[in-house]
A and B are shown apart, each in its own frame.
Chain A
Amino acid sequence: MQKSDLLKKLQDIVGNERVSASAAELYCYSCDASQVRGMPDFVIRPANTEQISKIVSLANEKEIPVTARGAGTGLAGGAVPVEGGIVLDMSSMNRILEMDLGNLQVTIEPGIVQEKLNDALEPYGFFFPPDPGSSAMCTLGGLIANNGSGMRSVKYGTTRNYVLGLEVVMADGTVVNTGTKVTKSVAGYSLTDLFVGSEGTLGIITKATLKVRALPKERSVLLASFEDPEHAGEAVVKVLSSGIVPSACEILDRNIIEAINTYDPHIGLPKAGAILMFEVDGTENTVREGIEMIKDACSTLATSIRAASDKKERDEIWAARRLVGAAVSRLDPLRTRVYVGEDIGVPIKELPGMLHKVGEISKEFKLPIMTYGHIGDGNLHTGMCIDMLSDKEWDKLTKAADKIHLTAISIGGTVTAEHGVGSARAEYLGLELGKGLDVMILIKNALDPKGILNPGKMGV
């Protein structure tokens, strides 16, 4: 089919204003926040499920790839159309359809931004807990498709824990509903769980019913400084095994501390080899008790411990922490943060060892590696900044990232704890999953026999 005929058909489905094939627009949708690139033929901003069903059905008939996209903040190329075709920008389907707070749930369209949902819930005293660093930008659709999580996952878990049901457009255009409004149901295979984390390769999510939680009454933040990341890693193991569940447990290494202080100078984090940022939430009593227990657990390992003085300081610290991954680019005018090899997860007991290994890899490749992340659930972000115009540095970065990935797998870890596989990490999936990947391929072939949904991703 000629491109112009296809454009006409797509315009018939969504109207002229909702489809673009302009060079500028296509270029803008050829990447996300990763290094993956792929040029789409069309970008569509659908308005409803019916339009998506028609688009996907047409694409299936003509064997044209369809890639869903939320806000394009993904760090693995998930939303990049590596085989061309249609990009479905879901961000204009961004309504809250129902706030059923008596049942502790909301039903939303997938294009809503995480923070916007929480802004709407806050006046009622509720929140949607998974909070990635990108919460001001990323969509719920992207979070569900990637099973994203964030700083509070050590206590509240990942997005998967909050998805009760989905409306999904399948590869042939059929619309199915999964799950139930009941928090417990064992009726059949958990299709909801199959689509959560499927990165747009099995279906397009058009609606979601999500669990929400009551906002905690109190929060308190504690900063513990250490000589080096390894000591911090040991402290994390100690804290978590002491019985307390912090609502956040983040590590910042020396460079990251400097990056935060550069981004927002009046935060003034203490200089240290590493800092652990703990947050405890709950009632006034549980928070006080939790903070004391963390202080105790860290006392022999930390060089100093201090609490954030008030809500303002606490909010500022979190705001800066959220964006620090990008803010490390500020440390050197000629270098830019490149999100490659940035999302490993290891069992928590292996943390000190992994942190040590990262230090060695940094030395081996003479490449500064900055470490931060949700250390409470074993998730480390290893940040590398390079001169984007230097082939030599790209080469070092790729090799260092490969070594980081292989090391994580070798100690029972994962190449991606939350950012997703996309095409950036697809090559490691066989090694990490073994025969599990074959089962994934069987599922993919059964649900999308023509391979039109986000091809080139997840190793399927």
Chain B
Amino acid sequence: MNDSDMRSILKCVRCGTCRSVCPVFDVIGWESASSRGRMLVAHGLSQGMEADEGVFDSINTCTTCGLCEQMCPSGASPVKVIEDVRHQLVLQGKMTDAQKLLRTDAIEKGNPLGEEKDRMAWLGDSKNDVPEKADHVFFAGCLASYRYPELTKRTFDILRKFGVTVLQEEVCCGSPLLRTGSDPSELMSKNLEQIRKIGAHTIITGCAGCFTTLKNDYPDNIEVVHVAEFLADRLAEMDLKKLDLKVTYHDPCHLGRCNGVFDAPRQIIKSICYLEEMKSNREKSKCCGAGGGVLKGYPELSLELSKNRLEEIPKDVDYLVTACPLCRTNLKRGGPRVDVLDIIDLLEMAME
């Protein structure tokens, strides 16, 4: 275990604040499913504890939502410790089948979904019609490309008016691998090479997982913005009409809490219709339950987390809006009372 992780574990005074906020602990209830417990398990491993199923379940059920870290009074960094432990275990060949599959698919097929079809199919006829050089490049991400092709196309149609291009051979950004302990460098190089060729200084993405990875794990000379940030700055140029709607907004953890993007999506929503906040929001917003490999590895747990988040939807809203395809997917799984929209869906309604 590296020094900074050991220091972080020693910072934890086991006061249990994380127990009171961890959405996973709330569902599972065993101490090993709280951040305090995971820090202890990490410590146990450093003292020679064997990595058995109990250890896997403790370490791998964290969605890396970071609420514990946000609330931790003593300043420990559980998410970093958990991700590092996952990495150490994977290096020793110790991982769950879900982790293995995620890694093989991402590396061999370029996406963790195991899709073998043409990733760029969403572009349709525009495929041969995108600029080879541009300042801004749109990074669609795996889930958007394969599961929400129409939305992705519509997003790009808005963006291309501002001179944005795409990566013709985009592969997974590496986020699922980083979150679950595997090495994403091969994927990252493939993307980077294309970004450099295009000469872009800014990447735009609509996925919170891609956003945090591109921003924090890719070389820092590339600027990364979320679609919502890019468009919030250009609202004046978009001729939006007001809609008689009341919506609420789910902050994707890896966009909001982990990277501080709270205002841009709200600015877009408020320029279109009325926003009523969810019970927990912004820094303290609850996780949708999909992140950190949990949707893949523990689908039932992930579903419970989604249902708990959906309980925070205010009464009388017309839609739940979010800004990440993974959050959207999992929130839909939870059977919401109202439809879940991507922020681009809402924007388009106001553009029609």
Contact = CB atoms under 8 A, between A and B. Distances in A.
Contact of B31 (A28, A115, A138): A28
Contacts of B11: 329, 336
B55 A73 contact: no
B44 A27 contact: yes
B53 A31 contact: no
A23 B74 contact: no
Contact of A22 (B14, B19, B52): B52
B7 A25 contact: no
Interface residues of A, number: 42
Interface core residue of B11, B14, B54 (most chain A CB under 10 Å) = B14
Contacts, number: 112
Interface residues of B, number: 31
A444 interface: no
Contact of A33 (B14, B29, B41, B75): B14
A337 B74 CA distance: 8
Contact of A329 (B37, B41, B75): B75
B15 interface: yes
Interface in B7-48: 7, 10-11, 13-17, 19-20, 29-32, 36-37, 40-41, 43-44
A442 interface: no
Given A23-B49, A134-B16, A339-B13, A263 B73 contact: yes
Most chain A beta-carbon neighbours within 10 Å: one of B10, B20, B29, B50: B20
A89 interface: yes
A32 B14 contact: yes
B20 to A, nearest CB: 4
B30 to A, nearest CB: 6
A72 B16 contact: yes
A89 B33 CA distance: 14
Given A326-B74, A329-B75, A337-B74, A24 B17 contact: no
A45 B29 contact: yes
A439 interface: no
Question: Does more than half of chain A's interface fall in helix, strand or loop, or is it mixed?
Answer: mixed
- Name B's interface SS: helix
Contact of A23 (B16, B19, B44): B44
A22 B54 contact: yes
Contacts of B29: 45, 91-92
Interface in A306-342: 323-327, 329-330, 333-334, 336-339
A137 B17 contact: yes
Contacts of B58: 24, 28
Nearest to B12: A336
B346 to A, nearest CB: 31
Contacts of B55: 23-24
A280 to B, nearest CB: 27
B210 to A, nearest CB: 31
A324 B29 CA distance: 26
A389 interface: yes
Nearest to B57: A24
Nearest to B47: A27
A92 B29 CA distance: 7
Contacts of A334: 7
A272 interface: no
Interface in A119-173: 134, 136-138
A134 B49 CA distance: 30
Nearest to B44: A27
Contacts of B43: 27
Contacts of A89: 30-31
A18 to B, nearest CB: 10
Given A24-B58, A27-B41, A71-B19, A327 B31 contact: no
A113 interface: yes
A389 B3 CA distance: 11
Contacts of A11: none
A33 B49 contact: no
B185 to A, nearest CB: 30
A29 interface: yes
Contacts of B13: 33, 325-326, 329, 336-339
Contacts of B10: 336, 388-389
A329 B7 CA distance: 12
A263 B73 CA distance: 7
Nearest to A73: B16
A362 interface: no
B54 to A, nearest CB: 3
B224 to A, nearest CB: 27
Contacts of B49: 23-24, 27
A137 B14 contact: no
A304 interface: no
A136 to B, nearest CB: 4
A118 interface: no
A66 to B, nearest CB: 17
B73 A25 contact: no
A374 B112 CA distance: 54
A20 interface: yes
A323 B15 contact: yes
Contacts of A20: 30, 54
Given A24-B58, A323-B73, A71 B7 contact: no
Contacts of A136: 17, 20
Contacts of A28: 30-32, 36-37, 40-41, 58
Contacts of A72: 14, 16, 31
A30 B54 CA distance: 15
Contacts of B14: 31-33, 72-73
B233 to A, nearest CB: 27
Interface string B55-68: 10110000000000
A32 B36 CA distance: 10
Contacts of B40: 27-28, 30-31
Nearest to B9: A388
A92 B25 CA distance: 12
Contacts of A71: 16, 19
A137 B44 contact: no
27 contacts: A22-B53, A23-B49, A23-B52, A23-B54, A24-B44, A24-B54, A25-B30, A27-B43, A28-B30, A28-B40, A33-B14, A43-B31, A113-B20, A115-B20, A134-B16, A137-B15, A323-B17, A323-B73, A324-B73, A326-B13, A326-B74, A327-B74, A329-B13, A329-B73, A329-B74, A334-B7, A389-B10
Given A20-B54, A330-B74, 8 more contacts: A23-B54, A24-B32, A33-B14, A72-B16, A326-B13, A329-B73, A330-B75, A389-B10
Interface of A: 20, 22-25, 27-33, 43, 45, 71-73, 89, 91-92, 113, 115, 134, 136-138, 263, 323-327, 329-330, 333-334, 336-339, 388-389
Interface of B: 7, 10-11, 13-17, 19-20, 29-32, 36-37, 40-41, 43-44, 49-50, 52-55, 57-58, 73-75
